[in-house]
Structure 1
Amino acid sequence: MIKAVIIEDEKRAASYLSAMLREVDPEILILKVLDSVESGVSYLSANGKVDVIFSDVQLGDGLSFSIFEKVNNTAPVVFITGYDRFMLDAFENNGIDYLLKPVDKEDLAKALKKYKGLERHFTHEKPEEAMSQLLQYINGGRKKRILVRKGIENITMPLSDIVLFYTENKIVHALDRTGRKFMVDKNLCDLETELDENTFFRANRQYILNINYIKSFKPYERVKLWVDLVLPDIDHSIIISQETAPMFRRWLLEA
């Protein structure tokens, strides 16, 4: 039997989710329905025997991510929201799936199936180690941080903060979301094999782009694409060739 907790501040949405979960898996036991960050912290701090959590992201008193920053939660979380901009944060907070509202029954069934397939990771003497292994498995073993340099200082930086990698004078740099530039001791080909292909795309010989910082793209010289990034005053012109343009479009649609 799966012991589940729902965190949702809209009563109708919580009832709908509860009914759908029972329909998908009659054996599921919903221990508690919580409606706020405060109640989530209070309940999860006092009750450790939870198998899986289904949580809305935006609650009346804040984002549910703050719950998992305050409690030592080792249960996997299926995040549910009306917006997709929180996806990166979801997978930083024990998220194993991310469902958009209105929740589809088939998507919910897939999320439960994913949990059951990974359940063995949680029957572990050291739950924190198990969660780390699980998230590594979910992310395909892809790294989440990278070592960069600023002068003589070596810094470990979350990949989610990096807008793009680029070469300049045969040196590879990383540009972060604040516009700061760092050196990277790898070439773009090596980076391309290490990075999550759903998040990063090799635009051309000079650039690798993070999908979360792509604002738009437009035709350039009729057969090429010009990519605009969300950073203002960025001193980079990123052109996608005619040959690469179809792959780029497909990557944006499928990532």
Structure 2
Amino acid sequence: MNVIICDDDSLFIIQFKKMLIDIDVAYDLNINIKIVDSLQKLELFLKTDDSFDIIFLDIDFKNPDLNGIQFISKVSDECTEKWTLFFVTNYPRFVFDSFEAHPENFLVKPLDKERVAEELLKIKHRSDNLKNKKFVCIRDISSSDDEIIAVDCLISIKLKNSAKRLLYIDTNSCKYVVHDRLNHFRDALQNNCFVQISRFAVINIRHVTSFSHNLVRMDNAESLHIARHYKNAFLDKYSEFVVM
């Protein structure tokens, strides 16, 4: 679990880092921590490293030109499908402004260790529950109830809106729109027959009927683009499936 703390309060950083280490020791979450103390450094880091899973982001920085919420709006089209976001602040009034950024949650300082541990465990369990499972649990944005879907029935997971963390999930019987991250499904389902074919799509190899140079055709008659950067991974996964 790779974590970034972005905050310009040095004392808070020291305290929060110790808290995360204590949580890691208690729950064996294998937490790796990266510290950045400005939005400028965070932006540079986001452009050069995509190995992290979670960002704890302060809202009120000393730089008056941009706060944490505005920063997320600035980078959302490129980055927010890649990680889970927590806003951290001294000011509860920011909670209403933060809704547009669709964070996982909003944490008010001083942080409560049990609350932080609960949030991290929730993320870990959500990922673990998908790995090597025959079923997934999803909730369409139009529903208040979870649905259990067989993994083999999943055809594709596609990014609809990165800023709002909306995904299209196509199955062999229904279509769903859910709040989640594409890389969450990619990472959790990689031990099954799933592979990412572009920044915007993860597919189930079992439902591929044919493919050409840059297109893959699924058994629901949909054709999806294979981006050049992802083509070798697709071919490797397809080869593994064929010889299974």
TM-score normalized with structure 2 length:
0.48
Report the structure, 1 or 2, having the larger helix content.
2
Larger RCO, structure (CA 8 Å, separation 6 or more): 2
Q: TM-score scaled by structure 1?
A: 0.46
